[in-house]
Amino acid sequence: MKILLTGSNGLLGQKLVALLHQTSGIELVATARGANRLATSYPTLHFVPLDVTDASKVQQVLGQQRPTHVIHTAAMTQVDECELNQAACWSQNVTAVAHLAAACAQLDVHLTHLSTDFIFNGTEALLSEEALPDPISHYGASKLAAEQAVQRTAGLRWAIARTVLVYGTSLVAGRSNLVLWVYESLRKGQKIKVVDDQWRTPTLAEDLAQGCWLLARQSAQGIFHLSGPELLTPFQMAQQVATTFGLDATLLERVDGQIFTQPARRPLRTGFCIAKAERELGYQPHSFADGLALVQRQLAL
C-alpha cells in the first residue's frame, strides 16, 4: 500500500507522518508546498514538493509516484483569511481538490479528502453525515464546493472525512489551536476572553490521523464524521485546559462570540455524531480529558 499525503507540514499532516512513517506494509510519500519541515524529525521520510493548485504538477507527481491512496489534508483553513482573500481560498480549497480528484480517477487511486463542520450553518449540533450543508462563510462554501467536486468526479473512489476544531502539539512552528492558545496564555498569566455560546466536538489531531488511516486502509466509500465524542463550548474546553495543567482559571473571561468583530461568520452550534465512523471504521477517539493528558505529556518532553 502506497500512500501519498498532501499538507505534510500541517498539524494533521505531521500526525499522519508519525502514524504511517515506517509502518509495516505502508510506503509513504509526504508532500507539501515548499520545503519539508519534518526533515529533522524524520530524516528518512520520502518527501516530494507539490503545489496542489498546479494541475500539471499534480498529474506529474501522482504519475511518477503511483500511489494506491491519497490523503488530502492541504487546505487554506484560516476562516477570516479565506473571507478576505476569496480567490486564494477557492484556488487552494476547490481548484486544487478538482485537480487531485481528476488525477486520482485517471490513475485509479483512492482519495481521502478532509472537510469541515463549517459547511453547516450552526442551527443544529451533533450532526450526522445526512445533515444538509448550508455554509455561512466563504471558507465553508469553498469546503462544500470541494466535497461536491470530489463526489462529481467520474470513476473516482473516494471518502470524505469531515472534522471539528482540531487540537494538538506540533513539531514545527505553525498555526496554533485553541488548546495551545489557552495553555500558553494562562502559563504567561494573561487574561483571555473565551466564547461560551458556540458548541463543538473538539478533535485530537492523533485521533483524526487515525480516522484518516482507517478510511484509507479500508478504501472506504462515502462521507464520515470524525471528531471527538463530547460537545463543549470553547470556554468549557479552556476550563479543562486550566485544570489539566494546573493553571489559573480565573484568568478566563466567559464572553459571547458577538463581542468579536471578525470578517467571517462562525456557526454557533455544530459538533458531530460519530456513530457511523465508530460502527463502520472502528474509530475510537479520546475523551477531551484524555486528549489533554496526551498533549500535557507531549509538552513535557
CATH of the domain at 43: 3.40.50.720
Q: Which of 139, 167, 183, 283 is catalytic?
A: 139
Which H, E and C letters describe 113-170, residue by residue?
A: EEEEHHHCCCECCCECCCCCCCCCCHHHHHHHHHHHHHHHCCCCCEEEEEECCEECCC
pLDDT of residue 160: 98
Tell me the residue range of the domain where 214 lies.
2-169+202-228+272-283
- List Cα–Cα distances, 141 to 121, 145, 147, 161, in angstroms: 11, 6, 10, 16
pLDDT of residue 261: 86
Q: Has residue 174 been placed in a domain?
A: no
Report the distance separating Cα 257 and Cα 268, nearest Å: 9
Whose CA is closest to 209, among 77, 15, 69, 72? 15
pLDDT of residue 270: 98
Q: Has residue 25 been placed in a domain?
A: yes
pLDDT of residue 172: 82
Q: Has residue 192 been placed in a domain?
A: no
β partners of residue 28 = 3
At a CB cut-off of 8 Å and minimum separation 6, what does 96 contact?
52, 53, 58, 74
pLDDT of residue 239: 98
Greatest distance between any 2 Cα atoms in the chain: 57
Task: Name the phi and psi angles at 158, rounded to 5.
Answer: -145, 155
Q: Has residue 175 been placed in a domain?
A: no
Tell me the per-residue pLDDT of 73-110, one tens digit each, with 9 for 90 and over: 999 999 999 999 999 999 999 999 999 999 999 999 99
pLDDT of residue 22: 81
Q: Has residue 250 been placed in a domain?
A: no
Q: Has residue 247 been placed in a domain?
A: no
Q: Has residue 253 been placed in a domain?
A: no
Q: Is 167 a catalytic residue?
A: no
Structural domains in the chain (count): 1
- Given a contact cutoff of 8 angstroms between Cβ atoms, the answer to whether 164 and 272 are in contact is yes
pLDDT of residue 173: 73
Q: What are the cell numbers at 8?
A: 505534510
pLDDT of residue 178: 97
Helical ranges in the chain per DSSP H: 11-20, 55-65, 79-84, 86-90, 96-107, 138-152, 178-187, 205-217, 234-245, 275-281, 288-300
pLDDT of residue 301: 73
Report the chain (301 residues): mean pLDDT per 10 consecutive residues: 97 97 94 95 97 98 98 97 98 98 98 98 97 98 98 98 97 87 97 97 98 98 98 98 98 93 94 98 98 96 73
Q: Has residue 194 been placed in a domain?
A: no
